[in-house]
Structure 1
Amino acid sequence: MRLNRRTALTLGTTSALLATAAPVAAATPTAADPTATDAAETPPPTRVQAHRSITRRYLHETHRAGGTWSSVIAMADADGTFTDVVTEEPDRVVEAYSVNKIAVAVAVLDKVDRGLLRLDQRVEVTADIVIRDTDGIFGLDGAYPSSITLGHALAALLTVSDNTAVRLCGLVCPARELNDILRAKGFTHTQVVPVANPNRFFLGSTTPRETTTLLHRLAAGDLLSAASTKHLLDTLRSLTSFTDGIRLRLTSPERLRVATKAGWFKDGRNEAGLIFTPDGAAILSYALFASGHFTGDATTNDADFGATHPALRARAALGRTLMNATVHNDTTTSHPHQARYTPRNGG
């Protein structure tokens, strides 16, 4: 079932569309407390009903959150082929913010695959390259100059979304080369913005469709080598990675099934990723880009980059619905076994 907000507007209201999607097994959230249904919401019994449940939740939560949304949510069929479930302005060029760090990592790992870089080679962390913006970890070091491996820089880039790590990647993959690599792979809108220093750049733009395609091609293993693909997706699945959006209401084992990357700046609140079945098959993707005037006070929202922001509340509610939809895991694609969480107590 492929429905979008434009269809809702044609029908008159979002509520009219929600009514057309019934019946579904999942409970319909109430306007007073959309989180109240989390415990009661049960996995839909069929793939078609899973599509309807996702559509209903997306429309309800984004309507409540306000803002302008550009999104693609897709779910794998039994043969592993992804089918769109939700599309809303999927080809709109949007500011990607840190979601484009996935694309940066793809370009760097492409050079690793071609033997031009190594994950164990070292990059220099100098005082002038460190961004002290309270995001990430390099600004907390306090001891420069130092050096780290390229693998460490990529881990910081993709998990805690360290902006200094962007500059470290730029040392080994300058902006224009990075864009050339992405264009050669078919990503003409997923581009960074070069600046005067050739080794630095702003994170640039994308479209929900291109981000979705990038995610699907990563899952299929046709963007990078098997080793680089595993490295990137395992990093995004780490429990150290972003938890305030899609993963917020998920258990630790469920979070390990979600490879996600968020991005935010000014009024933008974005997140994109893949959800895997318990045995490691990619079954669902989401590319959610939101900006503009959200529900509530604009000044408060613009200063809130955490789980209390209306857009992140919407993504958290949607995350539970997306995870429930993955009970339809009868895909026939081959895949590695999923990692398990094994905490330690020092020693």
Structure 2
Amino acid sequence: MLPTIDWEDGEVVMVDQRKLPAKEVYIRCKTATAVAKAIKTMVIRGAPAIGVAASMGVALEVRRSTATGTAQLAVEFYRACDLLAATRPTAVNLFWALERMKRTFAESMKAGQSVDELKTTIDAEATRVHDEDVASCRALGRYGAEVVPTGGRVLTHCNAGALATGGYGTALGVVRAADEAGKKVAVFADETRPFLQGARLTAWELLRDGIDTTVITDGMSGALMRSGRVDVVVVGADRIAANGDVANKIGTYTVAVLAKEHGVPFYVAAPVSTVDPSTPDGSAIPIEERDTREITHLGAAQLAPDGAGVWNPAFDVTPAKFVADIITEYGICRPPFTESLRAACEQAAAAG
């Protein structure tokens, strides 16, 4: 499976997703500051992967600390958490992972652990966050494979694959599981402007797995659906509100509306850690706005004239009414989502 992020020689190592598919380059992070920069500059991206990276960044800072007392270690720990929390505002997995690390640290402090014991505990917790994410992706993939017909043609937007998670993927986890079940699926990957995650990352991942993949521009999905060449749409999510509204990569809402118009079921695949029960609906989800240069330039080439206004939200919100089902590691959540998502969250809490 694709090594999105891992430990190597005491450092956090991640593939630089900005360089794909032309070059497979790995970045080595020696500090939480380096991990935070990697998240902010999209060396690593995708809600679950950001959460994994944040937990590993905290563990890295604790691991390299020279504190001789637990009070000083706590100062450094919480400072690292604050630094990582300030990187990107929309993906709730980031905050979920940091809160989990904080709980573990606080409980361990209360239990009287020493500095060395705390380092071991936090290191182990970060590893669990990573490993559980991969397991969650595989589980939701198995559930999601049920909604993909044999020979199914799947349209996806952005990249919700191994690169966007600890490994295996959410939306692409569904595709992989369907393929492993012998369903011989084919995928249409929206290029996903302006960062081109679909063209660069989704196609790269799936072709490495030998899965039939066709790249289309974002403006082609409606015509593709109208021609009857899409059986299902499967996308990931960066935050799911309590009512089932879904924040995902900009352009997802457009795909959902088109899918509804053409009678194509629109599925969201995400672990329960992406569900935010404290956010009642999509209007309360903070939407990150990124550098205008991502739209006005492609590398060194200028695409838009100087003086043109630019609006560059990284995400949009798809209302729950456009979502057929939400696929999680605890099963498929169906409308009304307020009830089914609450039940999934309760299952996750009971599982510890």
Q: TM-score range by the shorter chain?
A: under 0.3
Larger helix proportion, structure 1 or 2?
2
The TM-score with structure 2 as length reference comes to: 0.27
The TM-score with structure 1 as length reference comes to: 0.28
